[in-house]
Structure 1
């Protein structure tokens, strides 16, 4: 019996849909990490998740649609922003979270697959952009709070500061292949904190 065929009373009301989604998204993430977006097949996802094919095709329709929902779930499951009381502390927490994700064997392969898909699939690109928009929005108060404390000048672009943290780490993952280690984390944080304090990220012309 597949998850979507569970009998009445087998799970709490409303729980079947959540269990089906969780199983499908886990299977999709595993297959993306193993084979990449180009080989993501909804029938294979259904088989691995032990869910009926019709359920998967009806709800997600396409591999891009499934990838989009996976990114939504990843954003929902991500840790909330840090609040250490200092810009440096908050940005270091952010950098260490990014580094932990990008060095995780499964997660690093998954992000490579999704980013590769976004380079040629518009729906995947839109899903990826919305994922990072959610994460930047979640962490932006780290910078706005720092402005209130006088650690960064008014008008500092919070998203630019956060991008300055994650950018060098993603470059190591996708381009240079250099190790994402503690030195890389501390270097990204130091550069972003100093640049923010110097007003490098202050928005102009707005």
Structure 2
């Protein structure tokens, strides 16, 4: 994780990027993807419109950079030595992010943007590939320890942990709390231990 108190190399360029990305996140939370405007984002960031248009060029490209930055800022995966604890840590990290008033609103806006903007969709897919790749080794290690059947698909297990939390956020007004996260992790773990995420073999007749 990149600490928020650290400045990436680049001087003024890095400061401009940070200011513009924060302004873009603020705008996404306040007005959603449909209301995004590069000129308004430049005003919010207190930088020149020309700078924003020259560097990003389109709302989709800017949103892609927002997601790149989010991936860079994400916390590293847990390394507890236990599949149960690793998956629970993953679920609770997702839960805290989606339940946060700002981060939850930001993710809802990004998900909506991905349904209508190809650049946003590709950026979203890249973001989740990064996060799944970060957490997949906890499943690989569980297979090596004998906790899971050989051939278990690590990426599918990680996705199975998060999927119920996103579904709950998007389809219900119910609170997204730690017990909900723990249930999602436990369900994914049980399915993985039962072999649900192994490649399908020949049908037995």
Common fold: TM-score over 0.5: yes
* CA–CA distance in structure 2, aligned partners of residues 14 and 72 of structure 1: 17
TM-score normalised over the length of structure 1: 0.91
> Displacement of 1:15 after TM fit?
1.2
**Is 1:130 aligned with 2:126?**
yes
1:64 match: secondary structure? helix
Match of 1:105 in 2: 101
- Structure 2 CA distance for aligned equivalents of residues 152 and 98 of structure 1: 23
- 1:12 and 1:102 mapped to 2: Cα distance? 26
Scaled by the length of structure 2, the TM-score of the pair is 0.92
Residues 125-172 of structure 1: per-residue CA shift (max 9 Å, x gap)? 111101001000111101000100111111111111111111010011
Partner of 1:34: 30
Q: Aligned pairs, how many?
A: 195
Following superposition, the deviation at residue 177 of structure 1 comes to 2.5
For the aligned residue pairs, the C-alpha RMSD in angstroms reads 1.5
Query: Residues 1-206 of structure 1: matches in 2 within 5 Å?
Result: 14-204=10-200
Q: Give how far 1:203 is off.
A: 2.1
Structure 2: segments with no counterpart, 5+ residues: 1-6
How far apart are residue 81 of structure 1 and its match? Answer: 1.0
Deviation string 1:94-134 (CA, Å, 9 cap, x unpaired) is: 00110010011011111111100111111111111010010
Match of 1:85, SS state, is: coil
